[in-house]
Amino acid sequence: MQTHRILALNSGSSSLKFALYEFSAAHELILVRGEAENIGGQGGRLWLRGTEGELVANDARPVPDSQAALLAILDLLKKGNYPAPAAIGHRIVNGGPRYRTPQKITPQLLSDLRTFVSLAPLHLPTEIEVIEEVASRAPDIPQVACFDTGFHRNLPELAQRFPLPRKFFEAGILRYGFHGLSYEYVLRELGRSAAHCRLIIAHLGNGASLAAVKDGLPVDTSMGLTPTGGIVMGTRSGDLDPGILIYLLREKGYDAAALERLVDAESGLLGVSELSSDMRILLGRRASDSRADEAIAMFCRSVRKEIGAFAALLGGLDMLVFTGGIGENAPAVRKEACHDLAHLGIQLDDARNEAMEGTISSGKGACVVRVVPTDEELMIARHAHAVVFGDGRS
């Protein structure tokens, strides 16, 4: 039986997640997964877990940049005698208006990605660096780009357009949406239960967004032109009155770089709490610090508002799914986000929610509420395997 090993690389603004899979006609097997954390910051760490989730390595070390992260990962894989991959898949945060489906990385594709950097300045530069570093060290291994925006390219045009002069839409200024690989994975996990369903998926992490899905197709999503828009996030502001930015430009001496730093790196949970962008830390401080309490309340309120708006677009709600680091692991956030939504059929069972069960609704409301752990790396690997070996998995 022929097998192929696929390495999935998921570059974030301050992390590099990876996973090595073995594919055959009979199975998808995880060989190892891990992450280089806090790239460019203090408290860098690199960890690996094996097939059964056992901890293989957990090294505290400085990780100055994405190149160093990649080299450290490749070194650990080599020392662990893991097989070399037959292909490498990359999460690409924005494929722009041109790229919709996963495809092999070529010089032309890389050139096009560089023109999209302004649409995702926190992510695309590091993703491009990782691709180039891989190519320099293993030029014969095919690399595949998997676009986080691809899932949303089927949004209705009305949802893609902003209320701006039409020329801007034609120039590619539109709602791209993000976290598409996560949404795609969740839909596959839900299977037939999502086929004829009015569904909202809440991907809640340091970056966070929601998507409205009807009968398996996207209807709307909270992020817009860039991953900065939408709900409150770890360090990102989410949606703002544009007049605030104009005011800061005119009256407070901000330039484009300062505004970008403000809305991408200094706002959200971090800006409101003045403590941390980490929801775990804020939950631990909530009872003793009003700033942490207010930051959490703003986050949950923004999620709740988006659920209500999307339920209106869908004409009702059959299922709500939480995923992502916060969505999967913070029952207090799930509970608060669902507060006062009984009119939409959302009623949680507190015991199930606290016990981290897969279904956390009480059964008394019309809407099923579930928690589905996402796996973007597996989705990347599936796409890369399908593109290179044509097995139809993606």
Predicted confidence (pLDDT) per residue in 88-127, tens digit: 999 999 999 889 899 999 999 999 999 999 888 888 999 9
- Give the three-state DSSP class for 86: coil
Q: How confident is the model at residue 42 (pLDDT cuts 50, 70, 90)?
A: confident
Q: How confident is the model at residue 390 (pLDDT cuts 50, 70, 90)?
A: confident
391 or 36: which leads in pLDDT:
36
**Amino acid letter at 312?**
A
Distance of CA 305 to the CA centre of its chain: 20
Q: Residues 273-296, buried b or exposed e (16+ Cβ, 10 A)?
A: beebbbbeebbebbeeeeebbebb
Written as six digits, the tokens of 74 are 């490749």
Residue 214 has pLDDT above 90, yes or no: yes
Query: What is the Cα–Cα distance from 163 to 363, expressed in whole angstroms?
Result: 40
pLDDT of residue 253: 98
Residue 394 has pLDDT above 70, yes or no: no
pLDDT of residue 14: 80
- Among 92-101, 182-191, 328-337, the minimum mean pLDDT is found in 92-101
So which residues are the catalytic ones? 148
Which pLDDT tens digit goes with each residue over 233-260?
Answer: 999 999 999 999 999 999 999 999 999 9
**Average pLDDT of the residues of the chain:** 95
Q: Are strands 4-11 and 16-23 parallel, antiparallel or unpaired?
A: antiparallel
Written as six digits, the tokens of 55 are 């901890």
Give the DSSP H or E segment for 210.
strand 208-214
* Long-range pairs for 42-45: beta carbons < 8 A, 24 or more residues apart: none
Give the DSSP H or E segment for 6.
strand 4-11
Residue 336 has pLDDT above 80, yes or no: yes
Closest CA to 30 of 380, 268, 390: 380
Average pLDDT over residues 265-286: 97
Q: Are strands 45-50 and 55-60 parallel, antiparallel or unpaired?
A: antiparallel
Average pLDDT over residues 360-367: 96
Q: Is the dihedral of CA 100, 21, 88, 142 positive or negative?
A: negative
Average pLDDT over residues 213-230: 97
Length of the chain: 394
DSSP state of 84: P
Residue 391 has pLDDT above 70, yes or no: no
pLDDT of residue 317: 98
Neighbouring C-beta atoms of residue 159, cutoff 10 Å: 16
Query: What is the Cα–Cα distance from 373 to 229, expressed in whole angstroms?
Result: 23
Share of the chain above pLDDT 70, in %: 99
pLDDT of residue 12: 80
pLDDT of residue 1: 73
Whole-number CA gyration radius for the chain: 21
Average pLDDT over residues 310-326: 98
Residue 380 has pLDDT above 70, yes or no: yes
Q: How confident is the model at residue 281 (pLDDT cuts 50, 70, 90)?
A: very high
Would residue 283 be called left, alpha or beta, if left means φ above 0 and alpha means ψ between -120 and 50 degrees?
A: alpha
Residue 93: strand pairing partners:
none
Query: What is the Cα–Cα distance from 240 to 369, expressed in whole angstroms?
Result: 29
Q: Are 268 and 277 in contact (CB under 8 A)?
A: yes
CA atoms within 13 A on the CB side of 232: 24
